[in-house]
């Protein structure tokens, strides 16, 4: 996964000496954000995103590039988060080996290992970020060198899960701890697959033309929620296939889809237009949080909630630039998300944690 583009709150960015300090309660929360309480900022500067909880709700795993850490290409880090929101050793617990680019880390059952994708076997250098299209179109790179690996928290490799040609990434694990889901190009299109935790028993879940990715299981493991593009018009299809042949996708038109974990009973959940992505189930399994720009088809991106029936769309965050990657802690008490708020009007994206109020 790649951040869709980034940039504010009115407070200034803290200096390096205060990077591990926690912001005062509610100074980072907008008044309309009634479902958030005790918002804390965990990172400062650079791009920090896709922060996902451990099974015990005590740790976060995330990807970051931050020049002040000597990291200029996305790498994987983890941090401890106490009940009071204190950050211990933020930015110091690097898991990935610093080679290539990494993405989409997720804790494995037991919280002693994590799964993520990396390009390091294809090239030790950071792959180039593609330029925008001729009309300024924003594109995501689909690096063919991405494969999926398991590492322990000390940065030791445990297992390589994929070794087929082409893009394999975006792996997440079922809360029941028995399966994972990931996106792959092995069929010639970007489709969802599930597999056992050792990489075996691979099952293709989607088979329609378009980008299927960013999938998560429901709390009981019975369903999947994900983002997808569905080009249908001849010109849209040709454009999608042309970009894909170049290792690119254009993520500006995506909706949410939901299905049983075996791929049956697939249905489109949102019909909002724009980019609707980064979905994650509420702990009750009856609603979904996601990021969207459907109101403007541009910036800002904010977090919304919708029932799995497609009813009761509700705006959760009210940032002026970018809020995304919402994720509930397994105990349902907290939410982690990435945001451009409080970044001193820079383009940095940081990780935040808040108490959730239903």
The 10s digit of each residue's pLDDT in 257-305 is 999 999 999 999 999 999 999 999 999 999 999 999 999 988 899 999 9
* pLDDT value, residue 135: 79
Q: How far is CA 312 from CA 137, 276, 300, in A?
A: 32, 16, 21
User: What is the pTM for the complete model shown?
Assistant: 0.91
pLDDT, tens digit, for every residue of 126-185? 999 999 877 788 999 999 999 999 999 999 999 999 999 999 999 999 999 999 999 999
Task: Name the DSSP letter for residue 272.
Answer: -
What domains appear along the chain, each with residue ranges and CATH number? 49-64+71-311 (2.120.10.30)
* pLDDT value, residue 232: 96
Tell me the sheet residues that pair with 53: 60
Residue 23 — very low, low, confident or very high, per pLDDT cuts 50/70/90?
very low
DSSP secondary structure of 126-159: PPPPPPP-TT----EE--TT-EEEEEETTS-EEE
- 2 pLDDT exceeds 60? no
Q: Tell me if residue 124 falls in helix, strand or coil.
A: coil
* pLDDT value, residue 83: 52
């Amino acid at each position: 996964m790649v951040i869709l583009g980034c940039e504010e709150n009115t407070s200034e960015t803290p200096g390096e000496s205060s990077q591990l300090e926690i912001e005062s309660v509610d100074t980072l929360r907008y008044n309309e954000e009634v479902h958030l309480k005790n918002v804390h900022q965990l990172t400062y500067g650079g791009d920090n995103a896709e922060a996902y909880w451990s099974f015990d709700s005590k740790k976060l795993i995330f990807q970051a590039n931050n020049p002040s850490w000597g990291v200029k290409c996305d790498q994987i880090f983890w941090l401890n988060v106490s009940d009071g929101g204190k950050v211990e050793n933020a930015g110091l617990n690097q898991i990935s080996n610093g080679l290539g680019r990494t993405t989409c880390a997720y804790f494995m059952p037991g919280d002693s290992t994590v799964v993520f994708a990396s390009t390091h076997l294809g090239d030790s250098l950071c792959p180039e970020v593609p330029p925008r299209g001729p009309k300024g179109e924003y594109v995501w790179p689909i690096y063919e060198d991405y494969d999926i690996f398991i590492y322990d928290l000390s940065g030791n490799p445990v297992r390589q899960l994929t070794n087929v040609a082409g893009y394999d990434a975006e792996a997440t694990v079922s809360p029941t701890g028995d399966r994972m889901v990931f996106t792959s190009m092995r069929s010639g299109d970007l489709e969802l697959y599930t597999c056992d935790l050792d990489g075996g028993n691979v099952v293709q879940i989607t088979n329609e033309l378009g980008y299927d990715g960013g999938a998560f299981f429901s709390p009981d493991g019975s369903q999947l929620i994900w983002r997808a593009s569905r080009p249908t018009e001849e010109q849209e299809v040709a454009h999608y296939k042309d970009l894909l042949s170049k290792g690119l996708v254009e993520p500006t038109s995506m909706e949410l889809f939901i299905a049983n974990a075996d791929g049956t009973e697939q249905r489109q959940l949102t019909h909002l237009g724009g980019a609707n992505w980064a979905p994650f189930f509420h702990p009750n399994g009856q609603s979904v949080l996601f990021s969207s720009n459907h109101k403007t088809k541009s910036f800002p991106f904010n977090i919304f909630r919708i029932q799995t029936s497609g009813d009761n769309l509700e705006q959760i965050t009210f940032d002026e630039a970018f809020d995304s990657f919402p994720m509930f802690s397994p105990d349902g008490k907290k939410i982690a998300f990435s945001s451009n708020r409080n970044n001193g009007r820079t383009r940095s994206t940081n990780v935040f944690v808040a108490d959730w109020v239903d």
